[in-house]
Structure 1
Amino acid sequence: MIKVTNVKVVVAKEKLKEARTHQKSYADKHRRSLEFQTCDHVFLKVSPARGVRRFGIKGKLSPR
């Protein structure tokens, strides 16, 4: 019974490894290195550091 379980675990690990390699190869095709030249326009996403924390607090600051 232990041998059967060990064999099933090995098969499951192999299938997970195969799925991981498929997913990784798919993701690598869509990822490309970015190169910027001078005078290129770039959009930056910036969020304020202080304002975000203040609006996230609800209710009492120190509940008992």
Structure 2
Amino acid sequence: MYANWKVRDLEFTVGDQVLLKIYPMKVVMRFGKRGKLSSRYIGPFEILERVGDTACELALPPGMEGVYPVFHVSMLKKYHADGTYIVCWDTVLLDENLTYEEELIMILDKKVRKLRSKEIASVKMQ
């Protein structure tokens, strides 16, 4: 009666390409990512083995050797081959202190929000 109707059974097989969900936080740095505007998923990674019914072992790159490679299926998302929504982490040029500069491609939308005593301008960029 109180079931969540949005819950779906996730089925992955060995050899599938999946994205790994990361939890961006302001203070904690996980998987080399930090901040609330960082990407939500990294990857794609290949599934090497199924561990039980609800876990999968992933083939992680050498830069992530400190991370345990077995993850629950709720942290995985099916990878679609178009890849337009994924930031490729191999092409990002990092400085010596692991930072990079973002480049503006185009401005998508401009909006001014009016509060009681001030106006806040926001710009949506690609």
TM-score using structure 2 length: 0.17
Which structure shows the higher strand fraction?
A: 2
Kindly name which structure, 1 or 2, has the bigger radius of gyration based on alpha carbons: 1
TM-score using structure 1 length: 0.28
Which structure shows the higher helix fraction?
A: 1
